[in-house]
Amino acid sequence: MRILVTGADGFIGRALVARLLSSGVLPGLGDARRQVILLDRQFSVNAADARVRPVAGDIADPVVLREAFRDPVDCVFHLASIPGGAAETQFELGLRMNLDVTLRILEQLRTQTSAGLPPPKVVFASTIGVYGVPLPEVIDENTIPAPTLSYGAHKLIGEVLITDYSRRGYIDGRTLRLPGIVARPPQAAGMLSAFMSDLIRSLSAGRNFACPVAREGMAWWMSRACVVENLLHAAGLEAATLDRSRVWLLPVLHASLGDIVAAIARVHGEEVLDRVTYHENAALQAQFANLPPLRCPGSLEAGFRNDGTLETLVQRALDGP
């Protein structure tokens, strides 16, 4: 089993790679005898594991991409992208990284399949940003996407491409629409939703925090450990399940900023409540803290899960590499 992870040195990528290398049998990915190809601009740690082949460079560079696909791959976790804030201010860069790269990866895989190899699995990280703003009172599995940021538009186009290449038998794709994943590192530049992670990280460490959205603002929450579990679960979905859909919502925790602060206080002490103030930024409030309930019974039936409780979310949010 040869697995390629794009964005392998990113926040989610590092945790996914660690899990791929530490686990034994994984549904759909076989036993631990697997090679993991890491593709990212650079790597913060030395990949010394013999099962790892790092490829460092600009993923938009065709030479770098060809090196990543030097040998045929069985599965791709496509996590790499330019996030919302950066894609909005740097339009050409967003197009190149979020659209051109996705298409080039799919074309590399089509070449494999056209040579007679089985269609490789592709797990594509999309976003809740495909729904845009304003949002309906409830989002479910039939809600029509209408992105209002370039990032959401890029990801929606990627979803369509993944589904179409799967229909034609070039790949075996599955897409997850990811919510705000916490707690991202402080240097998560370009992430408009970074305040969600900053709140958990700062208050858990005993620091004060000025929250840029209202206490009552409702958001969708999931820890990095939980999203990794869901990515791996997606890779293992059986064909019969994929006949229903190749695009999946995740059953996130739906909670207010105040609810999260209260959970942090239950984990780290009541003094947390005195360390937070709220200063509403209308744009952030509309995009990330005015989110309705998300209902996805199909995803739950297919085995996708959330963190269970807010306390578990808070504790898991700071775990991992």
Residues catalogued as catalytic: 151
DSSP string covering 118-159: PPPEEEEEEEGGGG-SSPPS-EETTPPP---SHHHHHHHHHH
User: 222 near 310, Cβ under 8 Å?
Assistant: no
User: 248 near 304, Cβ under 8 Å?
Assistant: yes
User: 114 near 40, Cβ under 8 Å?
Assistant: no
Identify the residue whose tokens are 């890779």: 235
Rounded-to-integer distance, Cα 240 and Cα 227, Å: 23
- Helices vs. strands in the chain: H and E counts, helices first: 13, 14
Rounded-to-integer distance, Cα 230 and Cα 236, Å: 10
In the DSSP assignment, the letter for residue 272 is: G
Work out the number of other CB atoms within 10 angstroms of the CB of residue 189: 9
Rounded-to-integer distance, Cα 223 and Cα 211, Å: 19
Rounded-to-integer distance, Cα 68 and Cα 73, Å: 9
Rounded-to-integer distance, Cα 183 and Cα 74, Å: 30
DSSP string covering 154-223: HHHHHHHHHHHHHHTTS-EEEEEEE-EEET--TT-TT-TTHHHHHHHHHHHTT--EEESS-TT-EEEEEE
Identify the residue whose tokens are 């269609």: 119
